[in-house]
Each structure stands twice: as structure tokens, then as C-alpha cells.
A and B are shown apart, each in its own frame.
Chain A
Amino acid sequence: AATAPGKKITARLKRTLPVRGPQAPTLSELMRWYCLNTNTHGCRRIVVSRGRLRRLLWILLTLSAVGLILWQCAELLMNYYSASVSVTVQFQKLPFPAVTICNINPYKYSAMKEYLSELDKETKKALETFYGFSEGKSKVRRSVDDWNSTGSDFFQQIPLLKVEDFSRTATDLRSGQKRRVEGSVFHKDSSIVNGDSNDIIGFQLCDANNSSECALYTFSSGVNAIQEWYKLHYMNIMAQIPLETKEKLSYSADDLILTCFFDGLSCDKRYFTRFHHPLHGNCYTFNSGENGTILSTSTGGSEYGLHVVLYIDEADYNPFLVTSTGAKIIVHDQNEYPFIEDIGTEIETAAATSIGMHFTRSRKLSKPYSDCTETGADIPVDNLYNKSYSLQICLHSCFQKAMVESCGCAQYAQPLPAGAEYCNYKKNPNWMYCYYRLHEKFVKEQLGCQQICKDACSFKEWALTTSIAQWPSTVSEDWMLRVLSWDKGQKLNKKLNKTDLANLMVFYKDLNERFISENPANTLVILLSNFGGQLGLWMSCSVVCVIEIVEVFLIDSLSIVLRRQWQRAKKWWSHRQRGGAGTAAPASHLERQGHANPACLDEDLPTFTTALRLPLPQDSPLPRTPPPNYSTLRLESAFSEQLPDTLELGRR
């Protein structure tokens, strides 16, 4: 049986568009209903107030309150990811840090003779020719021809030049030839600009594949130039020596450490772990935690720390590589890599250096509070060091990676990445030019390393207070040196000199651990409480109230609008179908439904007191106050009467 299309549509409409909520027929009635019933009294006052001025005032007040709430809540949201700092001090037994000690001179000069004799000879020759310096023995000046006949590899590789800055010409100090400076000039000293420019010395590095591309590095002082030049060659030579040989060439623990005392007890070289540093040779780490135990101190003060006497064999120093005497130490955590070349403290000979420590532990909050990394796992740079992440490790690893990528070999001062090998000019004749170029870029932050690498979130820091006393004192010098020579044993056949010795004390000044940590300033609870405070303060409103707003202003309003549109469409449709014969019966029915809603029948405007008492519709069967007895059935019937639409739906 074919039913009328109108009925079909009505049926479908009733199925698909169930009517809920305060069934106000129009938006204004819905608003009215809302304003009278809501807890935010501002809205209520707008409706209830008599007189235009008062109503306007209330509208303004309510609007400004809403504005304030929005503004303040936005502020709260934006400040949500802020951190507050807390400092706690705890007095306790403290773990003693690892102390890494190196001789400033990396390798015994006497043992290095076989590797460095060529280079040293050349360097001495250069000094003699350029500066007229001779060590006193050889007074005969060698001629330029002599130079060429010896076939100095080192000068062919990297020629030392004297530069005339204004004419942009350079004199090759070996051959005396003048040549034009091509390519870029890098000044290592900025003082060159206003200094006298006639005495500038430097060296030229050229791209081996493309000889026209050269870079000239100049120094205002020959001391720097010679040292830098020497270092380049030295690194070349060292890169070719295997690690085991290098460890033998450097100092042993017995060589370096004469006496050792920790926590009031004697200790010896077994407390030290060897650690080979490419630039400093064999270094020794006290309390490295390698055997699983970390020593700790339960008493502060100089007697209870580490107390060592170091033997610095000054006579066996490399004269060109290092120009200062002493030892270098660094205090670090057991998991940290000691960057002794960057942040080491130097120790003087013939003196007692006492280093008092303060321990501070810091923790930052990682994302989204600040840009730091917990483990370094999220950073796209491989950690080449076998130690826990730090910014320094990342930067060095990043540079090494770039070096291997662009130069094809690894720089000597940093560990090897997998599958790479150290640069030397037999295999990579181009590396020095490449290295200098890359280093320049690195310093100017063009490699992107500084952008990739992030701080570590937690770090330990030992603040050092260093002071120096004369040691040994003039009166105790005599017996001290004699006994120490005896300690050193039979291996040493000379009497010790006080400039060969350094006394070092490392101790905790107090056992207070300062722990600086960042905490989230806002937790979710605090944020919500603040929201609640704002809502309550300005609008006497709550979350429920907000949901009501959403319900009324979004869902109900929308449904009313939709309903009206639908009716209009239906009217238009029926009009078209029946040629205007149909009446707007369903619409009036719906309207009646809306009016039937008890919540909307609040015709009489409530006074202030009735408003506060939340008046119910006059004809509502619902009780106003207890104790009027009423049956729950009546309550249900009240609902069923008022909401025929819902019931209809239920029956279906």
C-alpha cells in the first residue's frame, strides 16, 4: 500500500530527528528559558531587570565578565608549561667523583725520538733560518740549497710563508720565492688589523685535487704559527701509530703517581684506571667505577679527600708541542667523558694545589618545558664516546661525522666512527685543507651541529675552589725529596728535583649536596582549579554550567533552527505538491509542544526573591517544597503528558 509521501516524510522525520530538551519553539524563548534557569545570575538579571539602563548595564557587566574569563583562561593556558625551580640541600655521605689526571706532555720525548726526529730537525732548521735561533751548538747556518737537498717533506706539504698583507703577496721562507696569495686569507689573530703587518707569518693549505684553491692561515706571532704547524704534522705522524704502541710511549701509572692517599688511607695505582687521550697521552682516572664500586666520602675536609704527589718529568717534555709544565686534572662523574683538553684545570709544579669541591646536581624538565634531552637518544648524531650523553660529546661527534663525510677520514683528536680511519697524508693528502675549512665552518655554526645538539637534562657539577701553597717548604724540602726519591725506587737513578713534583689535594669542602630541580609550576589540578576560580569569580558558574551553555546554545539552538528550516522546507514542499491546499498543521503542533514544556511557561517575570528561589512553572505538578506528599506515579505521568513526542518514539 502506497502511503502518502507527506506521511512518509513525517514518519522519517520523527525517527531521525528526535526532539529533546527544552522544546522552545523559537530561539528567543530558548534564551529566555536559559536565562531564567541558569546559575550565572548575570544572564538572569538581564532578563529580569526592568528598565533599559539597568538591563544595558547588566548586559555590559556580563559581557565584560565573559571577556575577562576568556582572557584569563587563555593566560593560564599559555603559562601552563612553565617551570619553577626548587633547591634542596641534603647533608649526606657523598660519592667521590672521578678525578682524571694527565701529564701536560702526552708522550715521553725520549721514546718519541724515532717518530719525531725528522720533524724536529725540520722545525729546528726552520727556526734557525727564519729567526736566527740556534740551540747554541750548531752555529753554521745552512744555506737555502741545503734545504732543498734534504728534501723536506714537511715544507712541501705545508709551506710556511711570510705575508705582506697590503700587496697580497707572500714570500716562501724556504725558497725565497714570491707568490701571489690566492683564495681566502684566514687571520688567526684579530690584532693583525692594526698591528704592523710586515712580520706576519703563516702557512698555506691547498686543495690537493685542485691546486688553485688555497687558503692561507696567518698568525701575528711566529710562536703560534710554528706551534700550529708543528701540531698538524704531529697529528699526521701520531695517526699512523697504533694505540698499543702509543700507550707504551706514554707515561705509566708508576711513572706519574708517586704517592696516593684517600680518605686517610694509603692507596696505590690499582685505584687508578688508564684512559688514553689522543692529545694528552695516558691519563689516569681515580675512582673511575670500572670495577663496579664507587668510593664515597663520609667526612669533608682536606684530610679525607684524595691526596696525590705527581711526578712530572720536565726533562722529557716535547719542546715544540707543549710549552707549559705541570699536570692537568678534571673532576667529573663516572659516566662522563673527561674533556680534559677543554675544561681541565692545570696544576703547577713545586706547589701544593688544594682543590675544595662543592657538589651540585641539577635537573631540568625536558619537553615541553625546555629543549633538553634525557638520554641523547632523540638526537640524530651517533655518540662516538662510550659514555653518557653530554653537549660536548654531541658537538665533537657531530664534527667528526661531518669530517668523515666531507674529508673521508677522521680527525685525530676524537674517537673513530665505525668504518673510518684517522687522517694521515699518505692516504688522504687533502685532509688538512679539508679539516681547516670544516673547522672554520664549525666555528661559524655553519655545520648545523650547534642546532642539532641539545643540553642534557640532568647533570652533576663540582664547583672547585683552587688555592696554591708552596710545597715542599724550604725547611722540609731536603728530607721530602730524599724520601720521595727512595719511594720512586731503583728505576730512577737521579735525585728528584722539586720542579718535577706536584702535590694535589682534592676534597669535599662540606658534604652538602645541592640539588636544583625544575618542577612543573602548574599541574592539571592547579590549572583546572584556576579555571574554576575564574569562572566562579566572574560568573558564579561551574563546569556543569559550561556544559549547560554548550547544550543550550549549541545543541538546542541548532535543533530549533534546524526544525524551523525543516518545517519551512516541508511547507514549501506540501505547497508545491498540493498547490497550497495543505495547512501548516505539523508546525502548529510542534509549537504547541514547545509551549507545553513546563519550563517555558514562566510568563510572569519573577521578582528578585522568586528568581533566587528558582521558580517552577505555575502549572507544574512538581512539588515546590517538601513536605507535600505526592506520588511518584504522578511525577512520571507529568513527564509522559508533557513529552508526547518522546513517548511516541518510545512506542515505536
Chain B
Amino acid sequence: MKLRRYLVRALHRLQKGPGYTYKELLVWYCDNTNTHGPKRIIKEGPKKKLIWFFLTLLFASLVFWQWGILINTYLSYNVTSSLSIGFKTMKFPAVTVCNANPFKYSEVKPLLKELDRLIEAALERILQPGNSSDNVSPPLDLELWNQIPLVLIDEHDKDNPIILDIFETNQTAPVGRGPCQGPCHAQAQSCLLCPQCSQQGSGNCTYRNFSSAAQAVTEWYILQSTSILSKVPLHDRIRMGYQAEDMILACLYGAEPCNYKNFTQIYHPDHGNCYIFNWGMDEEALNSSNPGAEFGLKLILDISQQDYIPYLSSAAGARLMLHQQKSFPFLKDQGIYAMAGTETSIGVLVDELERMGYPYSDCTVNGSDVPVQNLYSQYNTSYSIQACLRSCFQNHMVQICGCGHYMFPLPEGVNYCNNEDFPGWAYCYSSLRSSIKQRQICIDSCKETCNDTQYKMTISMADWPSEASEDWIFHILSYERDMSTNVTLDRNGIIKLNIYFQEYNYRTISESAATTV
């Protein structure tokens, strides 16, 4: 009832209208408002009135325009960055050291014996085509060969290139307009190809052509050995790699001695056994509160170059990488080499970038909002863009080829590719790898992390050990490792590393919102 009465009253009031005209109200407003423009309009003479009227109008539009700009600035979510440089006590980076060669040749020789004989015979044929020495005592196992043969293309006659399979008698099969459309078209007398067929015997083949035989042989060997090694169980592969006690001869962190037991072993598909110092998985990460080589990590490594697999890795040295605690080391991307017979000093500057998340910049805090299954989480490592890209590739590989690539971790219930179970995998892998579309999909779906830490390194090198000190150093190190008086080390295998913080050890760029509410 009350409400009704109220409504009726309101209606009456509306019908009656206000007790004054709009003009009066306007004049009253103008007269009493705090903004003096309107007041002046009604109070001044006709000319001034006009001027004040336009001024007021102008200012009102200015105010609205500037409000528009301010709101736009806010909505563009700009950030301001602040930069700070200096020295502070920081967590010493995790240091991953690997041998450039993944396995000891003496250990994997039985597995690779057939392959090595094959490649040696092939090289023999390539280098001396005249005397085809078929007097090899045990016949070559050509099954491996037939899966991915190496062929030689003679392009003296440009219209009819002749394809020679190295192990067969001159098999001239002109391949249409030819696979040699690629780089080796110009003046090359011959180029080496490694054809990969999706199914044996089917015509669906691609030729990967190389302008250099050295490259072709290396690539071919990597494909073949990958296939062989993928069948070996993981613990055997770990056993075939370099052991911590053989590789890490001496270790000193600051003034405190450390040894191979302070390193965490991790199996890296490219480099075999890798050892990570200060990974922070089980124990607290070490801090370093002093700059300079005296307070850093000093290591002496032995890479025993004599035991390298000759066709697999042609560069010799240690591969090392500095990374954050609890992150996976992607040595192919961020790793550096250390040369045998030298002392490599690495001054470290930690370059941090702290960013605001969405909507200021497109980054992810822990990777949970990225639509790619992170395969590296099985190592208990944190999200990184490299992990995302590789997981993305492996997921695609599993989808398309049905098996996982040996270099990346496996999703559950999937096996690694090998020539026997998946005969067309090399073809599938090659086409996937060179597919620009696939790369673009991965680039678009992966996001970088909001807190990005990079280690800027200043690298310098010197010869080590010096000629004068060489004898006793080798003697002591050999004795400590093998308890024998024989010198088992030499210049080609030994590496000294110094990793330390520079005088300014951090540079932090942090973002904050430029405009806040």
C-alpha cells in the first residue's frame, strides 16, 4: 500500500512538472557551479558571453578528449621497466657437464660393429671408385644399408643425372626432373644423397641431398646409430656412457672440496651421461657470496678422446651449460664447448628478466596454461620454452609417425622409433622436421616464461697444463683415479674449468605497470 501511495505521489509530481523552467534551472546551475565558465557566460556582456561560451565548450571537449587518451593508455597495458645492476649473494647456477661423445666406443663397439664395417666399405668405394675390393672376409650385412641407402649422383649430364648406389653395380635410374633440384645443382660433379622411402619398395621416396660427402656420411651414421641404440634399454645405455668417477677428476667449490658424488647424473640423449652440479633437486642450492675465480667452481675433467665413436661426433671436448636450479639442460641450444688441453674460465653474469603476466605481456608463470603436454616433467624440471617446443615436436611425431624420436622423452605407452618396427620412420621424421607448418604450430602454442634467467658468460682460455707442470699433474691425476703409477691421461683428454661470478653478478630488468587504476 505504501508503495502504491508512493508511486501515485510520484506520478502526480511528474504530471505537475518541476516548479521552474529548464532555463531557470540552467541559469541557477551556471550561477552556482564551481566551474566558473558557465557562471561567466551568464554574467558577462554579450561579447564576453560569447567568448566564455566557446571557451567553456572548448575546455569541456578538451577534458573529454584527454580522458579518452588516459583511458586508452590504461587499456594498452604498458609497462615500465626498472634495471638494477650490482653484486649480491646469489644461488650459484646449476652446472651441467657432458662429454661431446655420448658413449665409450669400447663399450658400444659390439653394437655398432656391423655399421662401422658398412661405412668403412662405403667410404672405400666412394673415395676409390676404381678398385672395388670385394675381398672382405665376412660378407657385409646389407640389411641395414637397404633401409637407408647412400647413393651418389653424377651430374655431368645435367638432364640425365645418374644415380649410383654405392654397393650395387651401376644402376642407372634417371629420376625424372630429379631430386638434385636442391643445392648441388650448379657445378657439382657429384653429390651424395640419402634417400628415405616411406615404405620399402614403394615409390614414395625423398632424397635428402648433400653437397658434401662428410655431411652425408655423418647424417647417415646418426640416423642408423639412433635406430640401433634406441633398442638398448636405458640402464645399459647409462652403463655404456662415461661414469662420474672416470670423468670428474677434481672438484673444488669455493674453498671446499667436492667430488663426483656431489653431481647428479642425468641421461641426455645427445651426450649420454651428463652430470649436474648444484641442481637443487634433493638438497638446498649453494650460494656464492664472493666474486672471483677463487670462490667459484673449479673442475678437472677427463674426456678420454681415444674412446670416441669416430663417425658420430667429430668435435672433441666437454659440453657444459649453466642453467637455473630444477631446469632441464638443453645443451644443443645453450651449451658451450670446452676444449681439451686448455683451462677455460667462465665469468658469469646473471641476467634476469621479470615480467608481468597477462594482460601486460604474453607469458606463462609455470606452463600450466600452455596447451602442450610437457614431457620433461618426468625429470621433475620446471617449464621452459625449449621443453615446450621439444614436447610439442615429440607429440606431433607420435601422432604422425606412431613412434617417439630417440632424442626426446617419451609420452606414456609409446616406443622409440627403430628401423625394424617402424621402417618408414626416418622418412616420416625428415618430412616432419623440415615441415614449416609444424614448427609454426609449435611456436604459436608455446609461451615463454615470465621470469627468464640467462647466464651471460665471459669465456677465456689458456693452455693447461703448462709444459713444465704437465708431468706431475698427469701423474697425480692418474694415480688418484686408477691407483696406478702409469700415466693414463694425456693432453687430448684433460680439461680444466673455472666457473665464477663476475664483479657485478646480476642485472635485473623488472617490469611494472605503467598506468594503474
Q: Which residues of A contact B (CB under 8 A)?
A: 20-21, 38-39, 84-89, 91-93, 258-261, 264-271, 298-303, 309, 351-352, 354, 356, 358, 463, 465-476, 478-480, 482-484, 486-487, 489, 503, 509-512, 519, 523, 525, 528-529, 542-545, 547-548, 599, 613-614, 616, 622-623, 625-630, 632, 635, 639, 643, 646
* A259 CB → nearest B CB, Å: 3
Would you call A259 and B214 a contact (CB within 8 A)? yes
Tally the A-B contacts, defined by beta carbons under 8 Å: 251
Task: Select one of A463, A544, A635 contacting B37, CB under 8 A.
Answer: A544
Interface size on B, residues (CB 8 A): 102
- Most chain B CB within 10 A, of A21, A84, A267, A479, is at A479
Minimum CB–CB distance for A352 against chain B, Å: 4
Q: Cβ of B439 and Cβ of A298 under 8 Å apart?
A: yes
In the complex, chain B residues whose CB is within 8 Å of the CB of A352:
314-315, 337
Residues of A close to B186: CB separation below 8 A: 268-270
Contact with A along B29-64 (1 / 0, CB 8 A): 001101111001001111110000001100100000
- B273 / chain A contacts, CB cutoff of 8 Å: none
Query: Whole-angstrom distance from the CB of B517 to the nearest CB of chain A?
Result: 15
A467 and B361 within 8 A (CB)? no
- In the complex, what residue of chain A is closest to B79 when comparing beta carbons? A86
Residue on B with the closest CB to A258?
A: B212
Pick the residue among A267, A298, A614 that contacts B211 (CB under 8 A). A267
Contact A474 B306 (CB under 8 A): yes
Minimum C-beta distance from B432 to chain A (A):
12
Interface centre among B70, B105, B211, B452 (most CB of A within 10 A): B211
Partner of B182, one of A266, A512, A523: A266
Judge whether B367 is part of the interface by a CB distance below 8 angstroms.
no
Our pick among B78, B105, B123, B317 for the contact of A482 (Cβ within 8 Å) is B123
Closest to B21 in A: A629
Instruction: Tell me the complex Cα distance, A266–B47, Å.
Output: 83
A630 near B24: Cβ-Cβ < 8 Å: yes
Say yes or no: A472 contacts B314, CB within 8 Å.
Answer: yes
Residue B156, interface by CB 8 Å: no
A503 contact set on B, CB distance < 8 A = 314-315
- Interchain nearest-CB distance for B57 vs A (Å): 12
Is B332 in contact with A303, judged by CB distance below 8 angstroms? yes
Across the interface, do A39 and B36 meet the contact criterion of CB distance under 8 Å? yes
Which of B289-297, B440-448, B478-486 lies at the interface with chain A?
B440-448
A525 touching B447 in the complex, CB below 8 Å, given contacts A20-B45, A470-B340, A476-B311? no
With contact pairs A487-B213, A627-B20, A629-B24 given, residues A525 and B81 touching in the complex (Cβ less than 8 Å): no
- A626-B28 in contact (CB<8A): yes
Select one of A266, A626, A627 contacting B209, CB under 8 A.
A266
Are A259's CB and B211's CB within 8 A? yes
User: Which of A356, A483, A523, A528 has a CB less than 8 Å from the CB of B123?
Assistant: A483
Which residues of B lie under 8 Å from residue A542 when comparing CB positions? 35
Among candidates B18, B48, B59, B461, residue contacting A544 with C-beta atoms closer than 8 Å: B59
Q: Which residues from chain A contact B389 at a C-beta distance below 8 Å?
A: 299
Given A269-B186, A270-B186, A476-B310, A622-B59 contact (CB < 8 Å): no
In the complex, A270 Cα to B182 Cα: how many Å?
Answer: 11
Chain B residue numbers with a CB within 8 Å of A301 are 330, 332-333
Bound complex: CA A480 to CA B123 (Å): 10
Query: Contact: B333 with A300, CB < 8 Å?
Result: yes
In the complex, how many angstroms separate the beta carbon of A480 from the nearest chain B beta carbon? Answer: 6
Of all A-B residue pairs in the complex, the 8 with the closest CB atoms, nearest first, are: A473-B316, A469-B317, A259-B212, A469-B337, A467-B336, A627-B20, A627-B19, A352-B315
Cβ-defined contact, A623 with B183, below 8 A: no
Q: Is B313 an interface residue (CB 8 A)?
A: yes
Is residue B339 within 8 Å, beta carbon to beta carbon, of the partner chain?
yes
Residues in A with CB closer than 8 Å to B306 are: 474-475
The A-contacting residues of B in range 61-80, CB under 8 angstroms, are 66, 69-70, 73, 78-80
Interface residues in B302-336 (C-beta closer than 8 Å to A): 305-306, 308-311, 313-317, 330, 332-336
Enumerate chain A residues within 8 angstroms of B335, measured Cβ to Cβ.
302
With a CB–CB cut-off of 8 A, which chain A residues contact B443? 91-93, 298, 511
Q: Knowing A471-B315, A632-B23 are in contact, say whether A20-B340 is a contact too (CB < 8 A).
A: no
Docked complex Cα distance between A268 and B70 (Å): 55
Interchain nearest-CB distance for B419 vs A (Å): 20
Chain B hits for A467, CB < 8 A:
336-338, 344, 459
The answer, among B56, B105, B127, B334, for a CB contact under 8 Å with A483, is B127
Point out the residues of chain A lying under 8 angstroms from B310, CB to CB: 473, 475-476, 478-479
Within the complex, what minimum Cβ distance (angstroms) separates B309 from chain A?
Answer: 8
Residue numbers in B under 8 Å from A472 (CB-CB): 314-316
| Chain A residues whose CB sits within 8 angstroms of the CB of B334 once the complex forms | 356, 509-510
Known: A465-B336, A544-B35. A470 touches B355 (CB 8 A): no
Q: Distance in Å from the Cβ of B17 to the closest Cβ of chain A? A: 11
Measured in the bound complex, the distance between the Cα atoms of B79 and A270 in whole Å is 45
Supply 17 further A-B pairs (C-beta < 8 A) apart from A259-B211, A259-B215, A261-B215: A21-B45, A39-B34, A89-B353, A260-B183, A264-B433, A266-B210, A266-B215, A356-B333, A469-B317, A474-B305, A480-B314, A483-B217, A486-B213, A487-B212, A510-B334, A525-B69, A525-B70
- When the two chains form their complex, are residues B24 and A486 in contact, meaning their CB atoms are under 8 A apart? no
Q: Does B170 contact A (CB under 8 A)?
A: no
Chain B, residue nearest A271 (CB): B183
Which of chain A's residues have a CB closer than 8 A to the CB of B353?
Answer: 87, 89
Min CB distance A482 to B, Å, is 6
CA distance A303 to B79 in the complex (A): 36
B457 part of interface (Cβ distance < 8 Å): yes
Partner of A476, one of B46, B314, B446: B314
The answer, among A92, A470, A486, A614, for a CB contact under 8 Å with B32, is A614
Q: Is B476 an interface residue (CB 8 A)?
A: no
In the complex the two chains form, is B308's CB within 8 Å of A268's CB?
no
> B436 an interface residue at 8 Å Cβ cutoff?
yes
Are A87 and B81 neighbours in the complex by a CB distance under 8 Å? yes
CB–CB A265/B338 < 8 A? no
